[in-house]
Amino acid sequence: MNVKEKRIVVTGAAGFIGSNLTDSLLEKGAEVVGIDNLFNGRLENLDEAFKHNKFEFHKGDIRDLNFLLNVFEGIDIVYHLAAFTSVPQSVIMPENCNDINVNGVLNVLNAARRMDVEKIIYASSSSVYGDTPTLPKREDMRRLPISPYGVAKLACEAYMQVYHQVYGLKTTSLRYFNVFGPRQKDSTFSGVIAIWLGNIIRNENLIIFGDGKISRDFTYIKDVIQANLLVTKHDVSGEIFNIGAGSPINLTKLAKIMLKITNREHLKIIYKDPRPGDIIHSYADISKANRLLKFEPEYNQENGLKEYFKWYDDKYGTNLI
């Protein structure tokens, strides 16, 4: 399926990944209907999209079935990204997380079924693996989430598969691994790259919880978008894919690269006590996505960071690079 001329819903369109996906779909000639309740998203993320005559935006909540039924009229594909996205917050308020990330997803599936949507592509997460020691993470290995957020993502992957098997909806889940790039928020609960970027701009030292050996498969946003677009081109209904860079990096090395690229090597890296519940190592085996989707990451952490910082300088007039 080519996205050109297709009518596509992006839920969570005003968020970090949803807004980048929206821009790419519009660029490829799709008609995009963005929905978001603006709980965490920002309309300014859609500034580019609003310039486009093939874009429309509806403010609303995925927990409102009637809202979804209206918006899904005549839709071919739904990218479902709207979510309660903070892992630590999900520990504090598991009911809210479940309400949005499980009940909300069921609503999306039921509305899609009733309105004859052809395909649903779901934003899952590496958090479904929890802290199992086996590396890299493969899709068929045991999943042991250690947060309500991870449980909800795992439940919804199962719902995606069941709605494919039982009702014939073409569903696919993508397990993202630590995404970074333009429009990611610098807040207490956001990814470490966005937090450190905020520190660098304010000329503050970078803080690492633990000894810095924690590693992650930081994945540049454009590779995540690439994977989302590839799903429309292949018949991979009922499947689940890891989407990562496939190259882990530890936090000390990452911090040093960020300080070097931005020429801020006078700033220090401060080590604090590890945080309970933090997963130690995580990285993706992406061979399944490579085999079935022809997914090949184009960015490593260093060139992804350079492109991100350049975008930041252009947009906010900072002097990072």
Ligand X SMILES: NC(=O)c1ccc[n+]([C@@H]2O[C@H](COP(=O)([O-])OP(=O)(O)OC[C@H]3O[C@@H](n4cnc5c(N)ncnc54)[C@H](O)[C@@H]3O)[C@@H](O)[C@H]2O)c1
How far is residue 23's CA from residue 32's CA, in Å, rounded to a whole number? 9
Q: Is 39 an interacting residue with respect to ligand X (CB under 6 A)?
A: yes
By beta-carbon proximity to ligand X, the closer residue of 217 and 235 is 217
Q: Is 125 an interacting residue with respect to ligand X (CB under 6 A)?
A: yes
Q: Is 313 an interacting residue with respect to ligand X (CB under 6 A)?
A: no
In angstroms, the Cα distances linking 236 to 121, 240, 244, 298 are 10, 8, 18, 22
In angstroms, the Cα distances linking 268 to 50, 206, 309 are 41, 6, 20
In angstroms, the Cα distances linking 211 to 18, 87, 136 are 33, 21, 21
How far is residue 47's CA from residue 14's CA, in Å, rounded to a whole number? 10
To the nearest whole angstrom, how small is the minimum distance from the Cβ of residue 57 to ligand X?
11
Q: Single out the residue of 31, 32, 41, 288 in contact with ligand X (rule: CB under 6 A).
A: 41
Q: Single out the residue of 10, 81, 120, 249 in contact with ligand X (rule: CB under 6 A).
A: 81
How far is residue 209's CA from residue 36's CA, in Å, rounded to a whole number? 33
- Which of these ranges, 174-182, 267-275, 288-296, 306-314, lies near ligand X under the rule CB under 6 A? 174-182
Q: Is 98 an interacting residue with respect to ligand X (CB under 6 A)?
A: no
Number of residues that bind ligand X (CB under 6 A): 28
Sheet strands side by side (includes 77-80): 55-59, 31-36, 7-11, 77-80, 119-125, 170-176, 239-243
- Which of these ranges, 77-85, 134-142, 200-208, 266-274, lies near ligand X under the rule CB under 6 A? 77-85
Task: Return the CA Rg of the chain.
Answer: 19
Q: Is 62 an interacting residue with respect to ligand X (CB under 6 A)?
A: yes
Cα of first residue to Cα of last residue in the chain, in angstroms, is: 39
Q: Single out the residue of 191, 244, 248, 297 in contact with ligand X (rule: CB under 6 A).
A: 191
Residue of 146, 154, 167, 147 whose CA lies nearest to 105: 154
Q: Single out the residue of 61, 186, 204, 307 in contact with ligand X (rule: CB under 6 A).
A: 61
Q: Single out the residue of 34, 104, 145, 304 in contact with ligand X (rule: CB under 6 A).
A: 104
In angstroms, the Cα distances linking 104 to 108, 116, 153, 242 are 6, 18, 12, 23
Q: Is 17 an interacting residue with respect to ligand X (CB under 6 A)?
A: yes
Q: Single out the residue of 147, 173, 178, 215 in contact with ligand X (rule: CB under 6 A).
A: 178
Q: Is 40 an interacting residue with respect to ligand X (CB under 6 A)?
A: yes
Footprint of ligand X on this chain (CB under 6 A)?
12, 14-18, 36-41, 61-63, 81-85, 100, 104, 123, 125, 176, 178-179, 191
